[in-house]
Amino acid sequence: MSTRVIGWDMTAALNLGDAMGMDRLVIAEFLPDLEQVMVSEMNKRASQTDES
């Protein structure tokens, strides 16, 4: 059985964006779409590693 990612810590993501000087409105607009793609890719790579 392998570990799967189900989502990101959005508070941490917003704080990281703040620390980088990004506008919170921009972060809030793009973060959900980025999270969806990245979680999918992370899980795809994890399953490829499990099969090796």
Q: What is the pLDDT of residues 2-43, one digit of tens each?
A: 778 899 999 999 999 999 999 999 999 999 999 999 999 999
**DSSP per residue over the chain, as a string?**
---------HHHHHHHHHHTT--HHHHHHHHHHHHHHHHHHHHHHHHHHHH-
pTM for the predicted model, two decimal places: 0.72
How far apart are alpha carbons 23 and 42 in whole angstroms?
A: 26
Written as six digits, the tokens of 24 are 């919170």
